[in-house]
Amino acid sequence: MSDLNYKVIIGLEIHVQLATQSKLFCACPNRFGDEPNSNVCPVCMGSPGTLPVMNKKAYEFAVRTAMAMNCEIARYTKWDRKSYYYPDLPKNYQISQYDLPLSQNGNIEITVAGEQKKIRIRRIHLEEDAGKLLHEGNVGFSQVDLNRTGTPLMEIVTEPDLSTPEEARVFGTELRTLVRTLGVSEANMQQGQMRLEPNINLVITKDGKQYKTPIAEVKNLGSLRALERACAYEIQRQLADWEKTGVTMETGFKSTRGWDEQTGTTVLQREKEEAEDYRYFPDPDLVPVVVEKDWLDAIRKSLPELPIARRARFQTQFCFSEKDATTLVEDRATADLFEQALSLGAPVKVLCNHFISFWAMHANQRGVSIAELGVSAPRMASLAKLVGDNKINNTTAAALAEKLLTCPDDPADIAQRENLMQVSDASSLEKILDEILIANAKAVEDARTPGKKQQKAFGFILGQVMQKTRGQANPQVVNQLLQKKLAEKN
């Protein structure tokens, strides 16, 4: 066995579609799923003589994101043309930002297995998206849909600070949560609103010598799972490749690869020595952007509590585990719903329990978020209060929760109407308990004798009371009564 170890180096490029009403340089609607080529105009179709006008909202959304990622915001930026030919790009160039991005030098913290790590952000800039080629049906040719042409795309580039596939996935998750919290994108990955491109290579140390494998860039990953799998595959592939050929960064080429979801492998698309010549030059049709300090101050003031801070607060203030806090905060509407119910007087422990047990379960079963279940904060609060006030137990609460999904009434009204309120009244419970004790002399005997059978007999008697009361007896009250009765009979 030779002495070999390696370090993984991953950087990410992420494209996020911004949720503006209109496109980046024209007034066409920025909407997914419409009839092909219905949201187009001479500007986004690249007709000669048309002039682009920048969408200020898109710029603001990118600035919001950059601020949340602790980036320096440029006071002066410009637009550049990135020239290339492709059927989904009618102008033959894409408007982007080359040497003066709107922001750079930021960072974001991620937590992996309880450890915090700072990932540096190299730059965030804005550009327009291209259209889409459709290869549908067996028609023998491809069709072009230009609805997406010119929609605002935010590109986020990290430094190569990620060192495991898991870290890459966590970073992607964090970013998705962040842009959703900021309200700048829905980041729906199935609809291509967030696309990931990792750059991966290895630094191998063998017998005291270091070797760097050529960088591979995996294009257009459409899910966080694909990102993690593609990175893991690349590590093994590059390691095997190096062991077989010994090709390094110095002797080999940088490559662009695609991801094959079916086989779980990356496929070589092209090798290149240098970046293609995109012939970048400033777009003469657009004026440079000069940003006022007052405008930036106003944006900064409008930033909501960021996911990292909110998650930490959910853990310390409400005793959620890291995992549960992460899940809750991932959807801002759900986290807001929780805090609304709390402000309406729901007892915090009970509400936490409801959120991570049955509300999460119903949301999972329906493939929606808890906020999308359609149960309002007042009704969730009311249900939690019934438990907090000992009027119902958690079993009844779970049954009531299911009813709330289809019935618009307040849980307290349903509980009254259906006679579900918990029996805490000692005298009526005592009567029931007495009958059970008389009918089960053997269990009473066991319950009084210390030993193995004692616990079992105790449980049996409690179970009998629950059965008689259809699960509505307050277990604490029954427990106290039973202790008292057994002591008396001694």
Tell me how many residues contact Zn ion (CB under 5 A): 5
For residues 55 and 369, which CB has a smaller minimum distance to Zn ion in the complex? 55
Does residue 39 contact residue 216 with C-beta atoms inside 8 Å?
A: no
CB of 94 to Zn ion, least distance (A): 15
- Binding-residue pattern over the window 23 to 62 for Zn ion, x denoting contact by CB under 5 A: ---x-x------------x-xx------------------
For residues 146 and 342, which CB has a smaller minimum distance to Zn ion in the complex? 146
For residues 31 and 254, which CB has a smaller minimum distance to Zn ion in the complex? 31
Q: Which of 265, 9, 304, 341 is nearest to 179 (CA)?
A: 304
CB of 103 to Zn ion, least distance (A): 26
Map the footprint of Zn ion across residues 152-211, applying CB under 5 A: none
Stretch that binds Zn ion, among 21-29, 73-81, 114-122, 373-381 (CB under 5 A): 21-29
- Binding-residue pattern over the window 356 to 385 for Zn ion, x denoting contact by CB under 5 A: ------------------------------
Report the alpha-carbon distance of residue 265 to residue 274 in Å, rounded.
25
Report the alpha-carbon distance of residue 283 to residue 280 in Å, rounded.
9
Report the alpha-carbon distance of residue 302 to residue 296 in Å, rounded.
10
Q: How far is CA 67 from the centre of its chain?
A: 20
Rule CB under 5 A: is residue 95 a binding residue for Zn ion? Answer: no
CB of 134 to Zn ion, least distance (A): 19
HEC-encoded secondary structure of 262-319: CCCEEEEEEEECCCCCCCCEECCCCCCEECCHHHHHHHHHHCCCCHHHHHHHHHHHHC
CB of 89 to Zn ion, least distance (A): 14
Backbone angles phi, psi at 73, to 5 degrees: -100, 125
Distances (CA, A) of 163 to 167, 238, 467: 7, 15, 56
Stretch that binds Zn ion, among 18-26, 219-227, 236-244, 468-476 (CB under 5 A): 18-26
For residues 21 and 455, which CB has a smaller minimum distance to Zn ion in the complex? 21
CB of 95 to Zn ion, least distance (A): 13
CB of 333 to Zn ion, least distance (A): 31
For residues 43 and 429, which CB has a smaller minimum distance to Zn ion in the complex? 43
Report the alpha-carbon distance of residue 387 to residue 396 in Å, rounded.
9
Enter the tokens of residue 254: 């940088």
CB of 283 to Zn ion, least distance (A): 16
Does residue 33 contact residue 161 with C-beta atoms inside 8 Å?
A: no
Q: Which residues in this chain contact Zn ion in the complex, by CB under 5 A?
A: 26, 28, 41, 43-44
